[in-house]
Chain A
Amino acid sequence: MESNKKYWKGLEELNNTPEFVESNKHEFAEPIPIEDVLSGNGLAGKTPRRDFLKTLGFGIGAVSLAACQKAPVHKSIPYLIKPEEVTPGVANFYVSSYNGQAILVKTREGRPIKVEGNPGDVLGKGGVTSQTQASLLDLYNVSRLKGPMQDNGDTSWAEVDNFVRAELGAIKAAGQKIRIVTSSINSPSTQGVINDFIAQYPTAKHINYDAVSYTGIIQANQNSFGKAVLPHYHFERADVIVSFGADFLGGWISETEFTRQYVSNRSHEALEKKKMSRHIQFESRMSLTGSNADTRITLKPSEEGLAIINLYNAVSGTSLPGSKPVSNKATQTAITLAAKELVAAKGRALVVSGSNDVAIQVLVNATNSLLSSYGTTIDLDNPSYQYKGNDAEIVELVNEMKRGEVGAVFFLKANPVYDYYQSSAFADALKKVRLRVSFADYNDETASVCNIVAPNSHYLESWGDENAVEGYYTLVQPTINTVFDTRQAEQSLLIWSNNAVKDYYTYVRNTWNSKILPLGGLAGQGGWETLMQTGFVKAADKPAGTYTFSRDLNAVAQTILSQSAKIAGGNGKLELEVYEAYTVRDGKYANNPLLQELPDPISKVTWDNYVAISPKTAKELNVEEGDLVEVTANGYKLELPILFQPGQAQGAIAIALGYGRTKAGKVGDLVGKNAFPFLGLVNGTFQGAAVAEIKALGGDKIILAQTQTHNSYEGRDVIRETTLKEYIKNPAEASGKGEEEKNTYSLWDEYDRPQYDWVMAIDLNACTGCGACVVACNVENNIPVVGRDEVRRRREMHWIRIDRYYSFNEGKEVKTREKEIEQLENVDDVSVVFQPMLCQHCDHAPCETVCPVLATTHSSDGLNQMAYNRCVGTRYCANNCPYKVRRFNWFNYWNDSRFENYLQNDYTELVLNPDVTTRFRGVMEKCTMCVQRIQAGKLQAKLEKRPLRDGEIKVACQQTCPANAIIFGNQKDPNSEVSRALRSERNYYVLEELNVKPGIGYQAKVRNRTELEA
């Protein structure tokens, strides 16, 4: 159909005016000045409005496009050929070894990010120390040397090799002595390299030098039994342990192993059998071990010798010449009682002493011999090789250097210019040595006075092996290429001694092939590959022989008594004891921020050492907590603040070693003061007791960076403890479990937990308070280190902390309230309890209801979650947390120049766990129960199409705990380990009366206190 209708667009068209006809010929109603523009006239002409708008539109569009800054580009180079073993996002674990313990190193995309215990490890059974956990950070430490140095200037390895070889040749020709000073070497391969070196340069000699040495024990065993060894102790076989200042849970010889052994007699397994070992500690300072003791008697350092004599007398029923009772009657009674208990437990008894005095250790040997400890609790035939140092050798070295006899000296993992007791004398003598080579990976105190520094690689970059105890060999294997231009010391020694074996890896292989693999029934490439999976070889133990002490003790007693007289205080003089710091040890960990910020387990002080003094003694001396005092002993002076330490012997003070490094690196420099000069060389060994004087210096008080400032639990129900006797009568006595169930009402809807309910059980009787969990958590969860000033403002970020409370015993009464404690006459009988405290993942979490933006919520598997991205930072949740476990990011720790020493640099960022996000400023954070591990475990189970197995997922704190105090698992599974632990009669929940339904059960502390002492 055709339409006749015609639509016109305007009157012009209808009328068909001539103007319209004209204009209709053009495509556009208005002429476009194309010609003008092309001819250049357009620019001069008037800009039409439309053109102006077009230009404007284009201009704005173009400018805004250009202004859109591209997101910063991080160039990452993809694998051209993907290594078979690396899958992005999936961690690889490699076996290795640290401090003689087999470990697993977790790597992600080729970077080691976590050190974990090897569950097969003979010493720790999967538990490792805080130092092992923290050792990872050293790998990425910016203060490490970036390459070899000559005369404090950078050089190349080739030049170093040429120089050292030429020098060594000249020294050899001149017949001068060559000395290799190392901390104790128990690596068969390293020892082999050193021996080969000595074979090449016969004037060379190897000196094992330990800043904190065990020469006393080694020599005493030589003296007593003709075996110059450090025995292998078996605390698990001892029913009665008497320790004189031996801090065997806190660094003495083999703490992880000893902790495991010790706790096996005290944790829930033992208690279920109604058994528990008894531990009596005599000591001057409050050590970690003393804090765990059932009975703790304070002694001044000068009384220790006499106390051991009295114990020997009581055990043997004889009386050594010159012996007299200890002046304090209570102490004397305690010694007699301890002797009685020891004798009653003959064959299951152990006496140890932390002294480095040969005579004292001989007497301890004699006592142990009487108690039939040899062959049972002490093994001399499968000795420990953890410490081999002989103090006399280093002293002799100084004399040799002074006499100009030494042509070359090498330092491997030894820093005597810092930690030798007469460090300036050492440094002066060292100047006379022609060739001074340090293998230190930091330009430390010793390295900086050496003419060659040939930086050793970190152990995670190295091949090697260790032999901590007889028959137990662990492999060290690299998990990353060298981060800096470092070279293994063994490699350097091989080159410098023109060894036939050109590289150290081959050397290690040879050692294992020929000597070690056969011990484990392995051989060849297959054996080596098995080793790469297991990480260690354990030969069968040799039968532990019984040894009987048969030497004359009269002279020994005389030596002890005369030495004790020399260190006796009185007349306004105090007795000083220096001890190895728990966290930074002899100073070798001083540059590790994780360890500097790990609070001392007892004093909870971080980033400092101090003078520990009993409040009573302080009152007599008229000094107060925080006062700066000058301590004078052995002709050396130090200025340190005062810390009131309950349990510190009256008239005695204690100062930690390992601080006051001057060339440790950015972190460790000038933290605390160096107490090594307080050591004295006594009867051929270094000893830490001296007569001291203190003088208050006045001025402002110093506030130590403590993470806990209130020390008593105020009689509150949060800590529940009992005695073994009460426990046997009624196991639920302390926990109050089984009392009539109270009706509880809930304001909230209960949600179903279809599959999982993640909970935790913490055994207060197993926890020794060591703090390894704290460091493990820090590394696992990328927890920032905040530094001394921030800790001083009480802002440490630790997700798990160990609460430490003192209570005081007065007769049968236990005083836990500060007000009562202040009025106590006798404050020596102090008991300590540790309580690991972390987010309790309450089912009725008070933090969840108060968050205005729902940034913290509950998961369907019982976790209290924190959505960092949603948090606006009102801190209401932290205020409302009864456990005060939430931590706020006060600053942007990861990107604030004030925190760069610890975290903010290109290297330490490499240590971060990629599964855990770093938290921005203004955000709350707290324990997640390692949700990334839970998720990984669930995924693994899902991939393998099987249900999750109990114990398959281990949270970081649990995994590292040498005492197995922490059990994590699924409460929905009634047979899980955690469910069983929570059914324990000792189980209670902290603040359960608030009805917040916490997810972490604590098992009440049991102390094996006898009636006689009460």
Chain B
Amino acid sequence: MASHSEAIIREPLITGKNITYAQITNEVLRPVENKPNLAWWIGFGLASMGATMWLFCISWTFWFGIGEWGLNKTVGWAWDITGFVWWVGIGHAGTLISAVLLLFRQNWRNSINRSAEAMTIFAVVCAATYIFGHMGRPWLAYWTLPLPNQYGSLWVDWNSALMMDVFAISTYFSVSLVFWYTGLLPDIASIRDRATGLRRRIYSILSFGWSGSVKTWQRFETVSLILAGISTPLVLSVHTIVSFDFATSLEPGWHTTIFPPYFVAGAIFSGFAMVQTLLLIVRKVLGLENYITMFHIESMNKIILLTGSIVGVAYITEFFIAWYSGVEYEQYAFINRATGPYWWAYWSMMTCNVITPQLFWSKWVRTNIPFSWVLSIIVNIGMWFERFVIIVTSLHRDFLPSSWVMFYPTWVDVGIFVGSIGLFFTMFLLFLRVLPSVAMAEVKLLVKTASEQSKKKLLDGGHVDPDHAAYYKESLEKYDSVDLTQYQKA
């Protein structure tokens, strides 16, 4: 966009020497235009095994009934809704990155938004499978839509949070899909231009006749901004509504007004963790270190730290309110979380979500790739436990002690959840093969302004405040993709 150079004190968003537009296209499209390597095949093999397991377990459930799960008369939701909320939450990072960060002109999003949005789509698909899967009669799922029918007044219940969920999730999915696809258009056109034969025809159709004219680019920019505007409230609304499933109920431990902000923070927390989990691998395997740099990793870790802390405060607030409310059922629900038979789930949640992310206060940890990756996995685990704790430990002991029971998952419960991860990765790995995992067009915008080479040029030009230059050089130390030797000479 802007032709002027960015301030030297900002860290570069693209590293590497002599980066050209062609090089970016070549590097990003390498997995799309070439045969998959062994690592991809191994990953795809594992993931599709998981997806097959998912298919088997979900078919098993459909054939025999929900009774194949571990649910019972008291605990009516467990792994199903835990999985649903977990996946929806994960989806949130994509929208946040693509929409909110776009509106805030956070250019560093350009390198990661594509994968994050893809992740959103696939996570919401996984979440949607639970919406259908958890129903006793999934073949009647369309009844949750306000369709005209021969019964005249037979309508859906707008008071029900599940009803709002149907709309929240479907809106979210469609907007995310449109946003993602719109962003893909120039990149698909790039693939089209380089491809031949059938591939060319397919990508030609997929590119919607992208011509690359100035007018096209201008409309593209406008549509992106509009969609970002539409998506931004969704970042807040979707998980707010998901939290209504709990917050609007009577159940002690669910009936909490703090849920909307707490769920949104948790969703972003888990979403960034999942982005981190994926991209740390992708950048290595696909050789995208120059585009997804240490700066990106550190920025995301900072967001994880922030949202993790918000979540931690929410946990503590819940406890305080339970005590302050004076409601014995509420109080018991929270004491039971921490000390009851599912104490291990609660403390797993606390450890994974509140304690370990605090390690990100240390810059060394933030910029250490293996550490970041392990912590992102821990956050994912912790967020799964958070939903499990909220759902199962609230339900299993509520008002009447006579109904207190324990919940034990069956192999089908586990199979569907683990299988849904397989399903997710199957979709993600296929995505890597057919579409560019980094938004090439948007990254190219940064080459002239925010890349290491443009800043190097500035430095070499000598018109830079030496303090700033020193600061800049220091900031480069954390990068694993920057050759520092050239700066020492200078």
Chain A's nearest CB lies how many Å from the CB of B8? Answer: 56
Chain B's nearest CB lies how many Å from the CB of A834? Answer: 10
Name the one of B73, B135, B161, B399 contacting A872, with C-beta atoms under 8 angstroms: B135
Residues B399 and A852 in contact, CB atoms below 8 Å apart:
no
Q: Is A714 an interface residue (CB 8 A)?
A: yes
Mark interface residues in A801-814 (1 if CB within 8 Å of B CB, else 0): 10111000000000
In Å, the complex CA distance between A587 and B232 comes to: 68
Q: Which residue on chain A has the smallest CB distance to residue B408?
A: A793
Chain A's nearest CB lies how many Å from the CB of B249? Answer: 5
Mark interface residues in B103-145 (1 if CB within 8 Å of A CB, else 0): 0000000000000000000000000000000111110110110
In Å, the complex CA distance between A854 and B135 comes to: 15
Q: Which of A871, A874, A878 gathers the greatest number of chain B CB atoms within 10 Å? A: A874
Measured as residues with beta carbon below 8 angstroms from the partner, the interface class of chain B is 35 or more
Name the one of B73, B137, B143, B144 contacting A884, with C-beta atoms under 8 angstroms: B73
Residues B405 and A852 in contact, CB atoms below 8 Å apart:
no
Name the one of A712, A837, A872 contacting B143, with C-beta atoms under 8 angstroms: A872
Contact partners of A206 in chain B: CB under 8 A:
none
Instruction: Kindly specify which of A74-82, A537-545, A686-694, A885-893 makes contact with the partner chain.
Output: A885-893
Q: Is B398 an interface residue (CB 8 A)?
A: yes
Q: Which residue on chain B has the smallest CB distance to residue A816?
A: B401
Q: Which of B70, B71, B401 gathers the greatest number of chain A CB atoms within 10 Å? A: B401
Residues A880 and B401 in contact, CB atoms below 8 Å apart:
no
Name the one of A711, A880, A883, A922 contacting B251, with C-beta atoms under 8 angstroms: A880
Whether A853 touches B156, Cβ cut-off 8 Å, given contacts A872-B143, A879-B77, A924-B136, is yes
Contact partners of A553 in chain B: CB under 8 A:
none
Contact partners of A711 in chain B: CB under 8 A:
401
Contact partners of B137 in chain A: CB under 8 A:
871-873, 920-923
In Å, the complex CA distance between A890 and B134 comes to: 11
Q: Is B324 an interface residue (CB 8 A)?
A: no
Chain A's nearest CB lies how many Å from the CB of B133? Answer: 11
Residues B141 and A872 in contact, CB atoms below 8 Å apart:
yes
Q: Which residue on chain A has the smallest CB distance to residue B394?
A: A879
Q: Is A522 an interface residue (CB 8 A)?
A: no
Instruction: Kindly specify which of B60-68, B432-440, B474-482 makes contact with the partner chain.
Output: B60-68
Chain A's nearest CB lies how many Å from the CB of B80? Answer: 9
Mark interface residues in B398-428 (1 if CB within 8 Å of A CB, else 0): 1111111110000000000000000000000
Contact partners of A886 in chain B: CB under 8 A:
73
Residues A878 and B76 in contact, CB atoms below 8 Å apart:
yes
Residues B156 and A852 in contact, CB atoms below 8 Å apart:
yes
Contact partners of A795 in chain B: CB under 8 A:
67, 72-73
Interface hits, B355-376 → A, CB 8 Å: none
In Å, the complex CA distance between A290 and B118 comes to: 66
Q: Is B163 an interface residue (CB 8 A)?
A: yes
Name the one of A716, A794, A846, A882 contacting B73, with C-beta atoms under 8 angstroms: A794
Residues B162 and A714 in contact, CB atoms below 8 Å apart:
no
In Å, the complex CA distance between A921 and B166 comes to: 23
Q: Is A644 an interface residue (CB 8 A)?
A: no
Contact partners of A157 in chain B: CB under 8 A:
none
Residues B65 and A921 in contact, CB atoms below 8 Å apart:
yes
Name the one of A837, A874, A883, A991 contacting B162, with C-beta atoms under 8 angstroms: A874
Residues A712 and B73 in contact, CB atoms below 8 Å apart:
no
Q: Which residue on chain B has the smallest CB distance to residue A818?
A: B401
Mark interface residues in A151-189 (1 if CB within 8 Å of B CB, else 0): 000000000000000000000000000000000000000
Residues B404 and A890 in contact, CB atoms below 8 Å apart:
no
Residues B404 and A710 in contact, CB atoms below 8 Å apart:
yes
Whether A794 touches B157, Cβ cut-off 8 Å, given contacts A875-B77, A888-B66, A921-B136, is no
Q: Is B248 an interface residue (CB 8 A)?
A: yes
Residues A882 and B250 in contact, CB atoms below 8 Å apart:
yes
Residues A870 and B143 in contact, CB atoms below 8 Å apart:
yes
Contact partners of B66 in chain A: CB under 8 A:
873, 888, 890, 922
Residues B399 and A718 in contact, CB atoms below 8 Å apart:
yes
In Å, the complex CA distance between A711 and B154 comes to: 43
Mark interface residues in B16-45 (1 if CB within 8 Å of A CB, else 0): 000000000000000000000000000000
Whether A891 touches B65, Cβ cut-off 8 Å, given contacts A714-B332, A850-B160, A852-B144, is yes
Residues A994 and B250 in contact, CB atoms below 8 Å apart:
yes
Residues A882 and B134 in contact, CB atoms below 8 Å apart:
no
In Å, the complex CA distance between A709 and B329 comes to: 18
Chain A's nearest CB lies how many Å from the CB of B410? Answer: 9
Mark interface residues in A869-911 (1 if CB within 8 Å of B CB, else 0): 0111111101110111011111110001000000000000000
In Å, the complex CA distance between A794 and B74 comes to: 8
Q: Is A851 an interface residue (CB 8 A)?
A: yes
Chain B's nearest CB lies how many Å from the CB of A571? Answer: 38
Residues A716 and B328 in contact, CB atoms below 8 Å apart:
yes
Q: Which residue on chain A has the smallest CB distance to residue B252?
A: A882
Q: Is B155 an interface residue (CB 8 A)?
A: yes
Q: Which of B67, B138, B156, B329 gathers the greatest number of chain A CB atoms within 10 Å? A: B67
Contact partners of A801 in chain B: CB under 8 A:
402
Q: Is B395 an interface residue (CB 8 A)?
A: yes
Whether A991 touches B399, Cβ cut-off 8 Å, given contacts A709-B405, A852-B160, A880-B249, is yes
Residues A884 and B74 in contact, CB atoms below 8 Å apart:
yes
Contact partners of A994 in chain B: CB under 8 A:
250
Q: Is B159 an interface residue (CB 8 A)?
A: yes
Residues B401 and A879 in contact, CB atoms below 8 Å apart:
no
Residues A871 and B399 in contact, CB atoms below 8 Å apart:
no
Q: Name the 6 nearest CB pairs between A and B, nearest first.
A: A873-B136, A922-B136, A890-B67, A875-B76, A803-B402, A884-B403
Name 10 A/B residue pairs within 8 A (Cβ), A-sorted. A803-B402, A849-B248, A852-B162, A870-B143, A872-B141, A876-B77, A876-B160, A884-B400, A921-B136, A994-B250
Q: Which residues of chain B have a CB within 8 Å of any CB of chain A?
A: 64-67, 70-74, 76-77, 134-138, 140-141, 143-144, 154-157, 159-163, 165-166, 245, 248-251, 328-329, 332, 395, 397-406
Q: Which residues of chain A have a CB within 8 Å of any CB of chain B?
A: 708-716, 718, 790, 793-796, 801, 803-805, 835, 837, 846, 849-854, 870-876, 878-880, 882-884, 886-892, 896, 920-924, 990-991, 994, 996
